[in-house]
Amino acid sequence: MIAYLGRIVHDNDAESKLDDDVSSISKSLDLQGSIENGDVSSLASKDFGGLYSVKPLFLIKPSGAEDISRVVKLASRTSNLTVAARGNGHSINGQAMAEGGFVIDMRSTEKNHFEFLPINGSHYIDVSGGALWEDVLTRCVSRYGYAPRSWTDYLSLTVGGTLSNAGVSGQAFRYGPQTSNVTELEVVTGKGEITICSETLNSELFFGVLGGLGQFGVITRARIKLQQAPDMVRWIRVVYSEFEEFTRDAEFLVTQKEGESFDYVEGFVFCNNDDPFNGWPSVPLDPGHEFNPTHISQTAGSILYCLEVAFHYRNSDHPTVDTAVNGLLGRLRFVEGLKSQVDVSYTKFLLRVNRAEEQVKANGPGDGPHPWLNLFVSKSDVVNFNRTVFKTMLKDGVGGPMLIYPLLRSKWDDRTSVVLPEGEIFYIVALLRFVPNGPSVEKLVAQNREIVNWCIKVGLDFKLYLPHYQSKGDWERHFGNRWSRFVERKASFDPMAILAPGQNIFRRDPSNIIISREF
Ligand code: FAD
């Protein structure tokens, strides 16, 4: 084990060995929090994807940024140890794991920060990087009547985890992703420095960390923009048989001014049959409603499209809601008779996927592998993508939602580390596979690879969201002309490549020079 730990290199270049047992490591780290031995069965070796499992050396439950800084500094004095922040482990491909390294359970810091900040007429909340978005929602709304503006569909994700990717949902067309809705961060860099950063203070670190896949620092606090929370939401689904009409209406809605459109716009593809997961029953919002397929024309194909929208209102606005919503719906070309709607409270709406998850868990095998695939596809290529991927490769569905909806590039900040397709409008595509029965997980992973390879082969303008690549060449292609900036940021903020090794972008090199990974 001592050999496994490698050497600690001291400033005077003398070598000493690190003891391998928890108590002596704990003593040398002098943590306020706690430390446990790594174990393949512990949470540090697992994630939502269920495709990878590697054993860390230690699982750290830090009390805050100071503890994280100590761990990173200790790792930097060895020749090989790495450090992975683990949010809520909702990655698919082991991105929050550290083989033989330290995994930091960020959830142990979730209560450290929660401060409501009115600043110059705007409102913000300071929250911990390890806080779950569902807690941010419920605490913000119940205490202050305010809420963040941009969300993910599912809220049992941590603030630091989604900010390290982007954080996208049906509000992003208006406010941008979550990375566009944060004004200040506290970060522990790969050098172990605790640094405050913003657009004007240490801005390269600030923008680097946003969408930075955990490569440049561990987010310990984030300042999030808020808006007044509405009381209620009218949540509506309408159905299309033609992709061109679906995209025309979705693009129309996301390009209207605030106040002249819905407050949330998403969409999904489903099968034109009665399959309970992939077909008609996946559309109605109210369990009392039934999808009536007689409204669908005989000429419709095997795949249909559902536009999902929501309209926010306050209880006092109730009398005017019908007029506003019907005015908007009147401009859309969905299949007449195929509309489903419910009115729910704002928090119930935002917690809709958490509720669905609880139902799935209660009704059957919840914890199987999830070989999910997420992409951003340029508007210029989305018709081709629909024809080849949805209508051909995935015509029988994926055993779960197949999301597709448009986003606007101008709402994203180019200075962050996120990379996007060209052009103002692009679509997020999410293949959310649940596989209790059906094809083997290997087949589904192979199908994901086939889709990505096809996108590359035909030169589609696309990027993976929540990317997962195995080779340096793939990462270079993914980042394109942003690759050199990404490497420079790594050299500045984590020059020994200590952080987030599970992303497989850089590897620690004993000579302390970062090199991108070759497999
Ligand atoms: P983890 O999986 O624990 O970590 C992800 C990466 O971020 C790792 O590399 C980790 O080292 C790093 N990291 C974690 N915390 C920090 C931190 N504090 N500082 C720096 N780096 C950190 N995404 C969307 O955009 N929209 C959605 O609607 C959406 N829905 C989802 C629903 C489900 C059921 C699942 C499983 C995922 C969904 N995602 C969605 C994807 C999700 O945003 C990412 O998987 C995200 O990384 C998960 O957050 P986490 O807290 O579990 O992070």
Q: Are 325 and 205 part of one and the same domain?
A: no
Name the phi and psi angles at 260, rounded to 5.
-120, 20
Q: Say yes or no: 200 and 311 in one domain.
A: no
Question: Which one has a higher pLDDT value, 124 or 363?
Answer: 124
198 and 325 in a single domain? The answer is: no
Residue owning the nearest CA to atom 33 of ligand 1: 154
pLDDT above 70 covers what percent of the chain? 93
Token duo for residue 397: 């569905």
Distance 246 CA to ligand 1 centre (A): 29
For residues 331 and 417, state if they share a domain.
yes
CB of 49 closer than 6 A to ligand 1?
no
CA 159 to ligand 1 centroid distance, Å: 8
Residues 414 and 293 in one domain: yes
Look at residue 503 and tell me if it is in a domain.
no
Task: Assess if residue 74 is contained within a domain.
Answer: no
Does residue 86's CB lie within 6 angstroms of at least one atom of ligand 1? yes
Say yes or no: 287 and 430 in one domain. Answer: yes
What's the CA-to-centroid distance between 378 and ligand 1, angstroms? 23
The answer to whether 55 touches 39, Cβ cutoff 8 Å, is yes
Q: Are 429 and 377 in contact (CB under 8 A)?
A: yes
- Looking at the fold, whether 237 and 352 belong to one and the same domain comes out as yes
- Choosing from 60, 157, 469 the residue with most ligand 1 atoms within 8 A of its CB, the one to mutate for a pocket test is 157
Model confidence pLDDT, tens digit, residues 207-261? 999 999 999 999 999 999 999 999 999 999 999 999 999 999 999 999 999 999 9
For residue 512, tell me if it sits in a domain.
Answer: no
Would 114 be classed as within a structural domain?
Answer: yes
281-331 residue pLDDT tens: 999 998 888 899 999 999 999 999 999 999 999 999 877 999 999 999 999
- Report the distance separating Cα 154 and Cα 10, nearest Å: 45
* Domain boundary residue, one of 203, 228, 253: 228
For the question of residue 123 being annotated catalytic, the response is no
Q: Which atom of ligand 1 is nearest to the CA of 219?
A: 19
Domain boundary among 228, 255, 286: 228
Catalytic residue among 47, 67, 90, 263: 90
Q: What is the pLDDT of residue 2?
A: 30
Instruction: Give the distance (Å) from ligand 1 centre to CA of residue 20.
Output: 30
Expressed in angstroms and rounded, the spacing between residue 27 Cα and the centre of ligand 1 is 31
Total tally of structural domains belonging to the chain: 2
Summarised one tens digit per residue, pLDDT across range 118-153 is 999 999 999 999 999 999 999 999 999 999 999 999
pLDDT at 19: 53
The pLDDT assigned to 22 comes to 76
**Strand pairing category for 425-431 and 402-408:** antiparallel
**196 and 250 housed in the same domain:** no
Say whether 358 is catalytic: no
Q: Are residues 166 and 238 in the same domain?
A: no
Q: Supply the residue whose CA is at minimum distance from atom 34 of ligand 1.
A: 154
Q: Which of these three, 187, 209, 228, is where a domain ends? A: 228
Catalytic-role residue among 99, 110, 153, 381: 153
The string of pLDDT tens digits covering residues 28-78 is: 889 999 999 888 778 899 999 999 999 999 999 999 999 999 999 999 999
CA 507 to chain centre: 23
pTM, to two decimals:
0.95
What sign results for the dihedral spanned by CA atoms 471, 477, 479, 482? positive
CA distance 121 to 223: 15
| Residue 187 domain-assigned (yes or no) | yes
Residue 195 lies in a domain: yes
Contact 420, 378 (CB under 8 A): no
Nearest protein CA to atom 27 of ligand 1, as residue: 152
Residue 469 lies in a domain: no
Query: Are residues 344 and 450 located together in one domain of the fold?
Result: yes
Residue 166 lies in a domain: yes
The active-site residue out of 266, 308, 381, 494 is 266
Task: Give me the mean pLDDT over the 375-384 stretch.
Answer: 98
For residue 18, the model assigns a pLDDT of 56
| Of 2-16, 158-172, 180-194, 377-391, minimum mean pLDDT range | 2-16
- Residue from 195, 217, 204 nearest 415 by CA: 204
Task: Compute the radius of gyration of the chain from its Cα atoms.
Answer: 23
Closest to 267 in 3D by CA, of 310, 311, 306:
306
Specify the pLDDT at position 482.
98
Tell me how far the alpha carbon of residue 88 lies from the centroid of ligand 1, in angstroms: 7
Same domain membership, residue 236 and residue 220: no
Q: How many angstroms separate the alpha carbon of residue 197 from the centre of ligand 1?
A: 21
Per residue in 426-468, pLDDT (tens digit) is: 999 999 998 677 788 999 999 999 999 999 999 999 999 999 9
Tell me which of 91, 136, 173 to substitute to probe ligand 1's pocket, judged by most ligand atoms within 8 Å of the beta carbon. 91
Kindly state whether residues 116 and 248 are assigned to the same domain: no
Ligand 1 touching residue 221 (CB < 6 A): no
pLDDT of 140 reads 98
Whether the CB of 95 sits within 6 Å of ligand 1: yes
Ligand 1 pocket check for 187: Cβ under 6 Å:
no
Amino acid letter, 12: N
Q: Which atom of ligand 1 is nearest to the CA of 370?
A: 36
Residues 6+ apart with CB under 8 A from 250: 265, 267, 307, 405, 406
pLDDT higher than threshold 50 for residue 11: no
- ∠ CA 425-385-164, rounded to 5°: 55
CB of residue 157 inside a 6 A radius of ligand 1: yes
Dist. CA 180 → ligand 1 center (Å): 16
Question: Mind giving me the DSSP string for 186-197?
Answer: EEEETT--EEEE
Which domain CATH number covers 266? 3.40.462.10
- Residues 376 and 421: their CA atoms lie apart, in Å, by 7
Q: Is residue 96 within 6 Å of ligand 1 at its C-beta?
A: yes
Residues 6+ apart with CB under 8 A from 300: 241, 272
For ligand 1, is residue 45 a contact (CB within 6 Å)? no
Q: In three state form, how does the secondary structure of 394-427 look?
A: CCCCCCCCEEEEEEEHHHCCCCCCCCCCCCCEEE
Look over the chain and give the mean of its residue pLDDT values, rounded to a whole number: 92
Q: Is 90 a catalytic residue?
A: yes
Q: Is the dihedral of CA 128, 130, 136, 137 positive or negative?
A: positive
Host domain of residue 356:
232-464
Find the 44 Cα to ligand 1 centroid distance in Å.
14
Query: Of all protein residues, whose CA lies closest to atom 36 belonging to ligand 1?
Result: 90
Res 173 pLDDT > 80 = yes
